[in-house]
Structure 1
């Protein structure tokens, strides 16, 4: 494996009772880039994400992360290695404040789950870093706000902050714009761009404007296979992509 790539898979295949959801997928994610995985409904994007993060066991194929074969590892093990998928901790605690949510994620990163029962002074030692992360994602003003009372777009930013608290090398974001109003999309897109300065990002996203603006590389899936790959200018002009995805999306 070249040091150029932080995450690779080869021949990745997943079958469900005879149905092939992902078939012979080869993927290479370059360090320090934003890589988008797109395709029409049923293309296998979510299944591929679940395989890469080990929530599903591949029928065959190999997954390599940071030079190591992680095919046999479980989700917790790969998260500890620095490959973190946002939905793993995206269900924020609704009745805790934004600060408390990020602080819990910081406790997980330190491996001290029993901090729930430790003194307040021990927990307060994490406050400075928690405030930094909230500021980084643009929700510092909501530090004392209970999560359930935050606007949805700001809550999604909080979820990204809790993911960042785990100190990932690569973040896998599953439809980060889902459910977000137009006024919030630019904020989340700008946040992802800032994150990519320090972290590699692999994301599934249906908003093609976001994909066009953010992505360095785009892999297009259809019927569980890789259809094509390249930058947006390249894939958007591919007749097969227009037929399978882009054309129908703009119909």
Structure 2
């Protein structure tokens, strides 16, 4: 579906262009006690793409990500998802609409098995959200779909393992499976490669690529080689503003981006 994306012209008026957009932010701003963390950000995430949000430390990436996922409310601006104004909606509300995020820190139940973690996530579809505490028979009905999700992230052989016993990278894979259990249209990943060894990064990058086949992905990521390999579109933030946008080839040649990264110690 094509959406009307409002863009501010040089004359100060709001105009529209036709884009196949799933998520739009216009004039997005957030201040904390007079400090402007995000300032007038315009962002268009096109359906079916992997879109990366990058920038040096202090660029406003985390704040922007928290605004888009509704863990913060903006001081100014509008956010729409699939044509719905979600600017003041709660995280739970937007998750039900199909916008689901993961976190930097792995969020799984450590004492439950890999399979049990995915079954808990699948409970969202049931009206009785606490059935998993009472009825093993009810849970067994979810095993088929849970198994499919574990296979999708490469954990099919570890379904009976405790989550606590998994390596860090495998815990992140489990978190991805539980996130996919919510059937997101738009999957938002917060630094999915943080803390991973090289071999885990390669495996997780492949998982993200496969997970994006039937959905849209927006990710915040510091690893520029991962960004280059995965992203269709990149938005570079600096000091709360959009510094550059485009493909990796485009933004990596932008002199402002080069200066920003070199100045902050990034390679």
CA distance 1:103–1:246, change in 2 (3 Å): farther
Tell me the equivalent position of 2:15. Answer: none
Structure 1 residues not aligned, in runs of 5+:
none
1:40 is aligned to 56
Partner SS state of residue 74, structure 2: coil
Q: CA deviation at 1:111?
A: 4.4
Distance in 2, Cα, partners of 1:194 & 1:212 = 16
CA distance in 2, matches of 1:89, 1:167: 21
Distance 1:27 1:183, change over 3 A: same
Distance 1:196 1:49, change over 3 A: same
Residue 187 of structure 2 is matched in structure 1 by: 171
Q: CA deviation at 1:103?
A: 0.3
Higher-RCO chain (CA-CA 8 Å, sequence separation at least 6): 1
> 1:239 aligned to 2:231?
no
Instruction: Give a deviation string over 1:14-56, Cα, whole Å, max 9, x none.
Output: 0100000000000000000000000001100000010011110
Q: Give 1:89 shift.
A: 9.6
**TM-score between the two structures when normalised by the length of structure 2:** 0.91
Matching of residue 184 in structure 1 with residue 221 in structure 2: no
- The equivalent of 2:72 in structure 1 is 56
TM-score if structure 1 supplies the norm length?
0.96
Q: How many residues align?
A: 250
Relative to structure 1, is the Cα distance of residues 137 and 150 closer, same or farther in structure 2, using a 3 angstrom cutoff?
A: same
Stretch moving more, 154-163 or 106-115 = 106-115
Structure 2: any 5+ residue segments left out of the alignment?
5-18
Q: Which of residues 60, 82, 94 is equivalent to 2:110?
A: 94
Partner of 2:131: 115
Q: Equivalent residue of 2:222, what SS?
A: coil
Q: For residue 196 of structure 1, give the secondary structure of its aligned residue in structure 2.
A: helix
**Structure 1: 4+ residue segments shifted above 6 A:** none
Note if 1:196 corresponds to 2:208: no
Relative to total residues, which structure has the larger helix share, 1 or 2? Answer: 1
Q: Deviations over 1:194-226 (max 9, x none)?
A: 011011000000000000000000000000000
Equivalent in the alignment of 1:9: 25
